[in-house]
Structure 1
Amino acid sequence: MSGSLSILIIGHLQLTAICLLIFTFNNLDNVKAFGPRRSALYTIDEPSKQLRPDDTPEPQENWFEQKLDHFDDKPENITWKQRYFMNETFYRNDSEAPIFLTIGGELAISPRWVTKGSWIKFAEHFGAMCFHLEHRFYGKSQPKSDLSYENLKFLTSQQALADVAHFIRSMNVKYNFNNKQKWIVFGGSYPGALAAWARQKYPHLIYGAISSSAPLLAKVDFFEYLQVVKTSLTTHSDNCLKAFGRAFAELETLIRQPIGQRNVNEKFNICTPIEESVTKPLDMSNFFQKLADNIAFVVQFNKVNRPEAYYTIGEVCNVMVNDTIGPPFERLGIVNGMVLENLKEKCLDYKYDNMLTEMRNISLLAKVANGTRQWTYQTCNEFGFYQTSNDKNDTFGDRFKVDFFIKQCMDIFSESMDAKYLEKVVSQTNEFYGGLSPKSTNVLYVHGSIDPWHALGLTASNNPNTPTVFIKGTAHCAEMYDAAKSDPPQLTEARNKILDYLAQLLTDSEM
């Protein structure tokens, strides 16, 4: 989306059946605000401004009184204002019309997602009411005055799901929805997991769910992410993957001698000369991780119909296999420059202390308050999702092992967030939600083979209650965007399968 699951960005993660669509429909218009990323759960983006007809007004902001702590029954429980948008355009307003609700993920929600995206086509087809609810602690939905470690204890997926449940109950009353009107939840990335979990935890409120590109399994050492990145690069050619491997190996040699260091500084547009950091392991881990992260960014959103024209696997691989440009490390430098320019970053800032300074800023006006600090906290407190590289002989080397990411949790938030703590909370998350063995029914899980996040998702199932759609050759949340002429037939087929599944849910007489 954020998105993407979202975004761990560090210094650089219902129609009359009320259609409760839990997307990570997040606003990435100002991409440069995010800076370098660490182990990112990039969220799905908002639709292009140009796609919205000029005569289609953006919906107004609405605000909803929400509880701070849903698990505290004390009368003095604090409340706060949560932002949402709505679209009644297609609502047929009868006793069986469904309702859709989109829930934001790791960034601010965008009003345009109430008028665009494949879920709006579904809403039009079924005559649904649509809502768009912002995730607590993101965007304008701030329960507290700052993002201190103490305040962030109220930022959990369980609290967010309880927000959804309380919102549904309240909207049922406000709009006099009856018990025959089905709430169907959709979501992509982190909210894709929320969608599945919402149906699982609140089946009396939510009838079904479409869960797209959702990492259901929390995992501290998510080494599989870059393994899928590698496999996806080979869809262009084996030579592309080999060229990336040689480039990283050459960098390891170059940074150890003065002439090589000067080459690295020049070819990779480094903010701080690399020679100042070659003896600082954390800086070097950050450097290599960021380079790998930029490649992963291209892979994760390969050919997705996003508003920004992000580079594709084909475009970066064409550079990497072109030996007339120069040795592999120079080609990697060109690819890195392409991504930096796309993300509007002036240079590659890899300094670990710079990252800590930014990430420790608790102000709601800080750059990292765009979702970076919040999502990082969620990974440190619930999910892990650290995209590691542990093998010196592998494509991306062994410079950013799991300890590197755990140390960031400890340095940014609390020394208590050590390896033992991460293993405990991740285990608790999987026990609470079920990991890849969810206990829910009426959930359709959708993934693309190019998307590295499918490694933590449900891509095949023999359980008729949890069917799956696995789309060959598509990337993160691809089916959630508006259709495009360039869409491959399997993507169109996937959207049709989702539409058929929704029809099945909405005609099901069991309530």
Structure 2
Amino acid sequence: MLDASTPGSDVPPPALFTGHPAALAPALGALVVGLEHRFYGLSVPAGGLDMGQLRFLSSRQALADMASAHLTLSRLFNVSSSGPWICFIGSYAGSLATWARLKVPRTPVGGPGEGNPHLGVAVSMSVSQIVLHSLEQKCLSTSRAETVAQLRDTDPQVSSMGDRQWLYPTCTEFGFYITCAGPACPFSQLPTLPSQLSLCEQVFGLSISSVSQAVEQTNCYYGGQSPRATHVLFVNGDSDPWHVLSVTQSLGPLESALLIPNASHCLDMAPERASDAPSLRLARQKIFQQLQTWLLQAKESQVKGVSERQALAPSYVATWIMDTSHSTEGSGLL
């Protein structure tokens, strides 16, 4: 069981080690491992966060890191690299799980992607009708000038919350700008789309047109809301603003979707509580059943593969003996 955690913290992802994924591990006989995204926590390069370093901060590099970690961990823990791996990750990192299945299919990683936005947007996403249940991140200064100054600072200590690191891929790959326009908006209408896009230019020198082009390229490369990956379960809560950018309807038998009523961002990954709604309990049960199905299929596939190799072995050996007997007569090989 693998967690390529959502960026922004230098501590192990709590949902993995104390939440629902950890509760599933004993029942599945799983080893739990957490991965830290490059440029966050303790994985910030010694050179800091200047543009020369940030060019290595991308989803494609993150996928390469996941593939490398898979092979390294297999050797470290002496487990088969071809065995089943479950990837339990949420939010942006949930997209990485899907993209790993899409772009690195030989890496046997599959699993639920929680609250994962797949469609990059360089247009406004209104939250006026989708209420956020909590705000956990530390806020930047309310002063525009101070905000820009903080985001320009390349010292990792200043960007310990990951604000500069997160802004960069929104400018170079994703968009993901949230606005709250219209008279029904319950929040501030100050974060307009133009004001957020202008940060890319003020902080990184990237034009607004380049952001739009980057988002278009990302959607084309990964498939947007039709990624065509396999063995992926898209899990979302309908009270999570990000669910409108995710996959909320099944795309086929190997791309299932689960939309949990009245659930907020990645709520199903939290520890189980007596107060959990019946819909949340049912969703977790469905997740567990899906994982059991995939693991059973993987086991049957491995058994079938071994049986086929064993069935082919005698014929292969016999052919080798027959062929070599003509060319090595009297050599004693037989």
C-alpha displacement at 1:228, in angstroms?
A: 3.8
Distance verdict in 2 for CA 1:111–1:421, change over 3 Å: closer
Whether 1:183 aligns to 2:85 is yes
Q: Is the 8 A contact 1:198 1:206 kept in 2?
A: no
Match of 2:31 in 1: 129
Match of 1:497, SS?
helix
Counterpart residue type for residue 376 of structure 1: L
Q: How far, CA to CA, are the matches of 2:237 and 2:109 in structure 1?
A: 25
Match of 1:107 in 2: 9
Of residues 155, 178, 203, the one that matches 2:105 is 203
Match of 2:264, SS?
coil
Q: How far, CA to CA, are the matches of 2:101 and 2:248 in structure 1?
A: 18
Of residues 141, 154, 169, the one that matches 1:378 is 169
Match of 2:41, SS?
coil
Match of 1:154 in 2: 56
Q: Is the 8 A contact 1:199 1:209 kept in 2?
A: no
Of residues 237, 248, 259, the one that matches 1:448 is 237
Q: How far, CA to CA, are the matches of 1:300 and 1:354 in structure 2?
A: 28
Q: How far, CA to CA, are the matches of 1:478 and 1:113 in structure 2?
A: 9
Distance verdict in 2 for CA 1:490–1:390, change over 3 Å: closer
Q: Is the 8 A contact 1:228 1:455 kept in 2?
A: no
Distance verdict in 2 for CA 1:179–1:389, change over 3 Å: closer
Counterpart residue type for residue 380 of structure 1: C
Counterpart residue type for residue 146 of structure 2: N
Match of 1:412 in 2: 203
Match of 2:176, SS?
strand
Of residues 241, 244, 259, the one that matches 1:470 is 259
What is the CA deviation profile of residues 337-383 of structure 1, one whole-angstrom value per residue up to 9, with x for unaligned ones? Answer: xxxxx9888xx9421111112111111221x2321110011111111
Q: Is the 8 A contact 1:21 1:119 kept in 2?
A: no
Match of 1:210, SS?
strand
Match of 2:3 in 1: 21
Distance verdict in 2 for CA 1:419–1:174, change over 3 Å: same
Of residues 287, 295, 307, the one that matches 1:498 is 287
Q: Is the 8 A contact 2:115 2:243 kept in 1?
A: yes
Match of 1:171 in 2: 73
Q: How far, CA to CA, are the matches of 2:138 and 2:191 in structure 1?
A: 25
Please list every run of 5 or more consecutive structure 2 residues that lacks an aligned counterpart in the other structure: 303-334
Of residues 133, 150, 158, the one that matches 1:358 is 150
Distance verdict in 2 for CA 1:135–1:186, change over 3 Å: same
Q: How far, CA to CA, are the matches of 1:390 and 1:354 in structure 2?
A: 24
What is the CA deviation profile of residues 45-65 of structure 1, one whole-angstrom value per residue up to 9, with x for unaligned ones? Answer: xxxxxxxxxxxxxxxxxxxxx
Q: How far, CA to CA, are the matches of 1:349 and 1:169 in structure 2?
A: 42
Q: Is the 8 A contact 2:115 2:266 kept in 1?
A: yes
Whether 1:439 aligns to 2:231 is no
Larger deviation: 405-414 or 498-507? 405-414
What is the CA deviation profile of residues 110-137 of structure 1, one whole-angstrom value per residue up to 9, with x for unaligned ones? Answer: 2755631111111111111111111000
Q: Is the 8 A contact 2:115 2:265 kept in 1?
A: yes
User: Based on CA coordinates, which of the two structures has the bigger radius of gyration?
Assistant: 2
C-alpha displacement at 1:207, in angstroms?
A: 4.1
Please list every run of 5 or more consecutive structure 1 residues that lacks an aligned counterpart in the other structure: 1-18, 25-104, 233-298, 302-309, 311-341
What is the CA deviation profile of residues 396-417 of structure 1, one whole-angstrom value per residue up to 9, with x for unaligned ones? Answer: 5864431111111111111xx2
Of residues 269, 276, 296, the one that matches 1:487 is 276
Q: How far, CA to CA, are the matches of 1:377 and 1:369 in structure 2?
A: 15
Distance verdict in 2 for CA 1:112–1:222, change over 3 Å: same
Residue correspondences, number:
299
Distance verdict in 2 for CA 1:149–1:117, change over 3 Å: same
Counterpart residue type for residue 289 of structure 2: D
Match of 1:160, SS?
helix
What is the CA deviation profile of residues 388-439 of structure 1, one whole-angstrom value per residue up to 9, with x for unaligned ones? Answer: 2444x4535864431111111111111xx22210111101111111110011
Distance verdict in 2 for CA 1:106–1:112, change over 3 Å: closer
Match of 2:250 in 1: 461
Distance verdict in 2 for CA 1:124–1:222, change over 3 Å: farther
Say what the alpha-carbon RMSD is for the aligned residues.
Answer: 2.2
Q: Is the 8 A contact 2:197 2:208 kept in 1?
A: yes
Match runs of 1:34-433 below 5 Å = 105-110=7-12, 115-179=17-81, 181-224=83-126, 226-229=127-130, 232=131, 299-301=132-134, 349-366=141-158, 368-391=159-182, 393-395=183-185, 399-414=190-205, 417-433=206-222
TM-score scaled to structure 1, two decimals?
A: 0.55
Q: Is the 8 A contact 2:239 2:263 kept in 1?
A: yes
Q: How far, CA to CA, are the matches of 1:433 and 1:195 in structure 2?
A: 12
Q: Give the percent of matched residue pairs that are identical in Structure 1 and Structure 2.
A: 33
Q: How far, CA to CA, are the matches of 1:170 and 1:344 in structure 2?
A: 34
C-alpha displacement at 1:166, in angstroms?
A: 0.5
C-alpha displacement at 1:510, in angstroms?
A: 3.2
Counterpart residue type for residue 200 of structure 2: C
C-alpha displacement at 1:21, in angstroms?
A: 2.8
Q: How far, CA to CA, are the matches of 1:143 and 1:116 in structure 2?
A: 29
Q: Is the 8 A contact 2:236 2:243 kept in 1?
A: yes
Counterpart residue type for residue 117 of structure 1: G
Q: Is the 8 A contact 2:98 2:229 kept in 1?
A: yes
What is the CA deviation profile of residues 181-235 of structure 1, one whole-angstrom value per residue up to 9, with x for unaligned ones? Answer: 21121211111111111122222112422101000111111324x1442xx4xxx
What is the CA deviation profile of residues 60-81 of structure 1, one whole-angstrom value per residue up to 9, with x for unaligned ones? Answer: xxxxxxxxxxxxxxxxxxxxxx
Q: How far, CA to CA, are the matches of 1:228 and 1:504 in structure 2?
A: 36
Counterpart residue type for residue 495 of structure 1: R
